[in-house]
Structure 1
Amino acid sequence: MEVICDGDRNTRFFHLSTIIRRKKNQIECLQDDQGNWIWDHSTVKQMVINDLKNVFAGPVSVCDLTGLTIGLFPQLTCEEKEKLDREYTSAEIQGALNQMSPYKAPGPDGFQAIFYQSQWETISPSLCHMILGVLHEDNFPEGFGDTFLALIPKTDHPNKASGQRVSRAKSKVFFSSNVDEAEILPIITELNIEKIEDLGMYLGMPIINGRVTRDTFDYVVQRVDKRLSGWKAKNLSLAGRTTLIQSTLSPIPAYAIQTAKLPRAICDDLDKKTRRFLWGGDQEKRGLSLVSWDMVTNEKVNGGLCLRSMRQVNVAFMAKLDW
């Protein structure tokens, strides 16, 4: 009767979820370079500040890979090197201008590319003089940087010239299976960058460079487990658990399901975790299922709860991509 009267309002479940989330996100201590755990709040704060200073304010280092790359990668011909080193010309400026879409949005000066293309014979002397002056670093008119042009300087070390530096902690190097192990070691030693066995994630999805297995999309299951770890099913009614599944649990794998064909084992595991939470179970034990899963995934007008089967959703999204 209490569940029917009170529903799932501001109850013990939500207070427990808030406490669990706060404890999981709180950094209570850090380990220093000597392996000691630091618990003092002010000292932990200073450790974070010092670490960030070391990362972003350290000296710029340039690796010389000349000796390592000989014979490993295709070499530029003398003619190609001369083309890279030659001076900028008016013909290059005209070629770049003609590659622009004529009627795209105008720049800050209010003129579209069609104006410069159609009036090239008239404006080319003054326009080329200004652009070549900027490229040769002779003159940079005020407001010239307000246009949508990105000028890349021709320099041996552009990162060094721009003040940017490579973060080795965030950098990884990936080698094809065709590269010999004897050639890999000297390269990663000189680069001082960690070698990885896969290409990692990009825009929330794994960059697949081999056979798709369960491990490829296991991160989706881990995200669901992480969310379920802060929930207490026994403190919610069946209606409350159904609402949480539809509003929070089901959207977690939605992005991956719309993008790629997931292994059947991943889809079945997601359904299994949904069923356990729905019937009041947890990761260790299952609750008593009142009806079959096929009935649960039916429309409400047919007596179901309108929950989604991950296999069916994945197939539907793949059909949408194909269409």
Structure 2
Amino acid sequence: MEENPYTDVANFSRKQRCRQGTQLVLLGLGTAALWAVLLTLLLLWHWDTAKNLKQLEETAARNVSQVSRNLERHKSQQLGQESQAAKMAQNMEKIQVEQETMKSQDSELSWNLDGLRADLTNFKSLSLNEKRTVVDLLEKLQEDVAKLRIELQELNGSKCTTCPENWVNFQKKCYYFGEGAKTWIEARYTCEDLQGRLVSIHSLEEQAFLTKHADMKGSWIGLRDLNVEGEFIWMDGSPVDYSNWQLGEPNNQAQGEDCVMMLGSGKWNDAFCRSKQDGWVCDQLVTC
């Protein structure tokens, strides 16, 4: 049987259309699958983003809450500090007022104390000066009596030239030439311990004798102006009827030279009473 050529063409056309339909269906399915995947990815992204946003919101809310609490606590602390600072300022003002009052009282007390000290010093000075004056007068009277006794004994034929051991006789007086560094006051007390006093000089002859025997480095003598500046007096209270000052002396250097020492040349020089001299000369009356 012969095949109809038109039939073959029709069959081929049907097959062709079926194949195209299948391809379109497959394309549609693929497109649908892609959209499904895209939608799924979009949904997942949206869900993850929403989750992250929620976490951020919660974190931000917690942070805001914490910051608010910290801010409130800071404000409370600041208010407390301001209140404490105000109290401290008030206390400081009170302390300053009390300090000023204490300073005023202290100044007044110091002024009163200085006045009392000055009065006490004046009283002590007056008492000591009066006592020293009485003692000096008594010693001078005793020495005058001793001199009169010696003169009477000499008139009765007694020989009055006796001096203690290590003392040197000259013109009815005995002299002790001490050695060893001493201040003026130390030399004075040493002479008193030896039953004498620091030497008084009343003549050129006596000065020559002392210059010959005294320490060549310098010796303390019994002249001083401790009570009244420039008014020199002898230890025995006798007047200064003879002097042998070094040229330019006395000069009271540095307002403190109140005691007199004899240089090796025999000349006199006012010196600091607390300085030390290698020599010192004592005298006392001879005995019969």
Shorter-chain TM-score range: under 0.3
TM-score (norm 1): 0.21
Name which one, 1 or 2, has greater alpha-carbon Rg.
Answer: 2
User: Which structure exhibits the higher relative contact order, with contacts defined as CA atoms closer than 8 Å and separated by 6 or more residues?
Assistant: 2
TM-score (norm 2): 0.22
Name the structure with the higher strand share: 2
Name the structure with the higher helix share: 2
